[in-house]
Amino acid sequence: MAEEKKQEFWRWTESNWKNPDIDWKDAKFVTSGIDVGSVSSQAVIMTDGEIFAYGNMRTGSDSPDSARNALKFAMEATDMPEDRMDYCVGTGYGRVNVPFADRTITEIACHARGANFIYGPEVRTVLDIGGQDIKAIQCDEKGKVTNFIMNDKCAAGTGRGMEVFSDLLGVPINYVGDRSFDVKEEPQPVSSTCVVYAKSEATSLLRKGWSTEEVLAAYCSAMADRIYSLVERVGVEPEFAVTGGLAKNRGVMDRLMPMVGLKRMKTKWDTQIAGGVGAALFGYALCQKGKGRKK
Amino acid sequence: MLANYGYKDASGDFFITIDTDICNGCGDCVSACPADIFEVMDEDPNDPLRDEPVAVVSADKKKKLKYECNPCKPASERPPLPCVEACKAGAISHSW
């Protein structure tokens, strides 16, 4: 029997990282934030409010396992024993399934707080594009939420939709952004907002003789339209920051930002860890307030 | 904080907004709503460092608002919404 050979175009790179400048032995409080999303899981370990290590990987079918694996992946980069952890906060869609979390906090609060940390306190509008939801958040200089909206009923405009398209068109997900600009002129966006219908629309466009790049461009701009309609509802205030995996896709980002009319902030950090960073920071704040774990 | 609960889909925008700075967590909306959409939580889930009770839209209802709220929103003559009327502070508003 012929061996089945299948390339997973949607597969993005998992990574872990440790801050070489921090020694965990000096830390007063070590807190962790575990963000179990629908597509990816992140574990962020912070020492006294500074990022010490993180791991970012794909969520499997089992949320408790994903949480454990992400934390293990982050710990791999360090030489710290796991029981040094003072407090652990679970967040994200699968937050109730983090068995070792001391408490859970919604991803809305965590993303605002995390964006405030990784982008700086100037951030007022945070757009988080996750695997299966979009959140538009306004926050103050402390990262406290002042207005939010979340769409988690429909997959249109989410990371999952982009995975479906990268798989359909056979373009590895990391190249989608660049390839989508490889067109002579910008095509009309696909008209369907639903991922399933957009996929069948794309198939018929391909039959009509559109190139892969043109279909990608049409889908990226449809996603940008869709995302903007949600952002518009909470309103846009500078500075504007984007978190989540889609922030790495310039096909959508470079089409979205002209609609928003602002430049998006830059960061040295992985945009996918914002939720985990926020969760770990809440853990740190709770420890400082004396509400940490009773040992 | 303006907490927008609900969703947007191909048929429109369906959001209930609760202004948590105004809401005092009295729970009048909970008893007024015939569809049991609201609940009062001891702590705002989206503002974990503030320990004040606040009304929220239940997690299992927020994706069905179009249908849950439908009986209070007849197409012809529309009486005031029970939740909006019950909230003395004026913290609740609907987008549709």
Q: Are residues A216 and A246 in the same domain?
A: yes
Q: Are residues A108 and A203 in the same domain?
A: no
Tens digit of pLDDT for each residue in B18-59?
Answer: 999 999 999 999 999 999 999 999 988 888 888 899 999 998
- Which of the pair, A12 or B85, is modelled with greater confidence? B85
Cis peptide bond prior to A50, omega within 30° of 0: no
Tens digit of pLDDT for each residue in A243-260?
Answer: 999 999 999 999 999 999
3-class DSSP state of B69: coil
Q: Are residues A33 and A149 in the same domain?
A: no
C-beta atoms of A154 and B7 within 8 A: yes
Residue-wise DSSP of chain A: -PPP----TTPPPPEEEE-TT--GGG-S-EEEEEEE-SSEEEEEEEETTEEEEEEEEE--S-HHHHHHHHHHHHHHTS---GGG--EEEEESTTGGG-TT-SEE--HHHHHHHHHHHHH-TT--EEEEE-SS-EEEEEE-TTS-EEEEEEE-S--TTSHHHHHHHHHHHT--GGGHHHHHT-SSSPPPPPS--SHHHHHHHHHHHHHTT--HHHHHHHHHHHHHHHHHHHHHHH---SSEEEESGGGG-HHHHHHHHHHHTSPBP--SS-GGGHHHHHHHHHHHHHHHTT-S---
C-beta atoms of B48 and A145 within 8 A: no
pLDDT reported for residue A27: 92
C-beta atoms of A154 and B4 within 8 A: no
CATH number at A96 reads: 3.30.420.40
Tens digit of pLDDT for each residue in A38-64?
Answer: 889 999 999 999 999 999 999 888 888
Q: What total of structural domains would you count in chain A?
A: 2
Q: Are residues A112 and A154 in the same domain?
A: no
* CA distance linking residue B70 with residue B50, whole number of Å: 33
| Domain region containing A71 | 15-120+272-288
Contact with chain B for residue A108, Cβ under 8 A: yes
ipTM of the complex: 0.85
Residue range B71-79: average pLDDT? 87
Q: Are residues A32 and A94 in the same domain?
A: yes
- Position A203 pLDDT exceeds 60: yes
CATH number at B84 reads: 3.30.70
Contact with chain B for residue A146, Cβ under 8 A: yes
C-beta atoms of A152 and B2 within 8 A: no
Average pLDDT value for chain A: 91
- Residues of chain B contacting A149 with CB distance shorter than 8 Å: 4, 15
